[in-house]
């Protein structure tokens, strides 16, 4: 525990008008870890990610990335700081080609050669994308789109990757593939992953730590193994 956590959140509060979606959330994510944010519908999971990546303004609290305060920087600057966010559904630009989508993710990098090398690395990770590199993203299947969304985020070589429900609408087999990929990425790319999942069982099976949100507050935080074993918690918040 000597090392400083890569992501620290202190008393984060976010409101939509009169509705408080996040109410003083504090959490810290260890470097190189992969953690799950769980909770029922409307618990504030997506708002948490949106606030972390600057899409939603924080009304109070602080977000520290590797010790640097990123609470007030605009959304598009977050990738420069090493924080990438794959929104729910992926946010793939359907009318651009696979390659153009990937380029979009790395477009702020200055070196052309660096960009090309990164693109090759990313395509190496996702063979199905490599075969469809000049096809419009609209022609991809759901799983391929999720891969493309991941690939686009990885183009920026993020240190922290926020993933919002990557398994949404995907077949169980594809979900498993994506989850495995995350594990590989964590190992190979020196990446910290924050995974928001509706599907608590599959999320806890690949993560090492979990936060449970309820009505905008962290109600429980523990290792994924213990969360899985805690029957009361499972019944109360996770519904399985």
Partner 1 sequence: MVSLRNHESTGQGEQPRRASAPSAADRWRALPALVRFPLAAAAAFAAVLALTFVTGPTGDLRIGSVGYYMLAIAGLQLLIGYSGQISLGHGAFMFLGAYTMALLVLHQPALPLWLNMLITVVLSCAAGVLVGAATARLHGPYLAGATLALAVGLPSVTVRFPELLGGSNGLAFSTRGAPPALAGVITNTQWQAAAVWLTTLIGLVVLATISAGRLGRRMRALRDDESAAGLAGVPVGRTKVIAFVISAGAGGLAGACQAYLLGTATPSSFTVTLSLSLLAALVLGGLGSMWGAFFGAVALVYVEVWGEDLAHALSLDSNVANNLPIVFFGVLLILVILVWPQGLHGMLRSLAGLVRRGR
Chain positions contacting partner 1, by CB under 8 A: 53, 55, 74-76, 78-80, 84-87, 90-96, 100, 103-105, 107-108, 152-153, 156
Minimum gap (Å) between residue 91 Cβ and partner 1: 3
Nearer to partner 1, 150 or 227 (CB): 150
Which of 69, 138, 60, 59 lies closest to 97 in space, CA to CA? 138
Helix (H) or strand (E) holding 94: none
Which residue, 137 or 218, has its beta carbon nearer to partner 1? 137
CB of 57 to partner 1, least distance (A): 13
Residue among 149 and 233 whose Cβ is closer to partner 1: 149
Query: 175-214: string of b/e by CB count within 10 Å (b at 16+)?
Result: beebbebbeebbeebebbbbbbbbbbebbbebbebbbbbb
Choose between 154 and 228: whose C-beta lies nearer to partner 1. 154
Cβ neighbourhood burial of 74 (10 Å; 0-12, 13-18, 19+)? exposed
User: Of 102 and 212, which CB lies nearer to partner 1 in the complex structure?
Assistant: 102
For residues 105 and 210, which CB has a smaller minimum distance to partner 1 in the complex?
105
- How far is it, in rounded angstroms, from Cα 185 to Cα 156? 14
Strands (E), 39-153: 60-65, 68-69, 83-86
Smallest distance from partner 1 to CB 103, Å:
7
Token code pair at residue 230: 């805690």
> Cβ 50 to partner 1, closest distance in Å?
8
In whole angstroms, give the CA distance from residue 148 to residue 206: 21
Signed CA dihedral, 46, 47, 48, 51: sign only? positive
Q: How far is the CB of 25 from partner 1 (least distance, A)?
A: 20
Q: How far is the CB of 105 from partner 1 (least distance, A)?
A: 5
């Amino acid at each position: 525990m000597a090392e400083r956590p890569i992501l620290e959140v202190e008393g984060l509060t976010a409101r939509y008008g009169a509705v408080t979606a996040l109410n003083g959330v504090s959490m810290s994510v260890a470097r190189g870890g992969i953690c799950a944010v769980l909770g029922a519908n409307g618990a504030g999971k997506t708002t948490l990610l949106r606030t972390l990546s600057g899409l939603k303004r924080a009304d109070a609290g602080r977000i520290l990335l590797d010790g640097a305060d990123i609470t007030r920087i605009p959304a598009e600057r977050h990738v420069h700081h090493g924080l990438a966010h794959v929104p729910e559904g992926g946010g793939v630009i359907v009318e651009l080609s696979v390659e153009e989508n990937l380029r979009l993710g790395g477009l702020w990098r200055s070196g052309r050669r660096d960009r090309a090398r990164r693109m090759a690395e990313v395509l190496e990770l996702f063979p199905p994308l490599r075969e469809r590199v000049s096809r419009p993203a609209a022609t991809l299947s759901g799983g391929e789109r999720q891969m493309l969304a991941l690939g686009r985020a990885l183009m920026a070589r993020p240190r922290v990757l926020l993933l919002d429900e990557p398994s949404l609408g995907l077949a169980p087999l594809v979900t498993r593939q994506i989850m495995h990929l995350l594990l590989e990425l964590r190992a190979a790319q020196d990446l910290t992953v924050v995974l928001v999942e509706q599907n608590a069982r599959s999320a806890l099976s690949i993560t090492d730590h979990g936060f449970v949100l309820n009505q905008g507050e962290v109600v429980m935080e523990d290792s994924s193994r213990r969360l899985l074993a805690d029957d009361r918690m499972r019944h109360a918040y996770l519904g399985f």
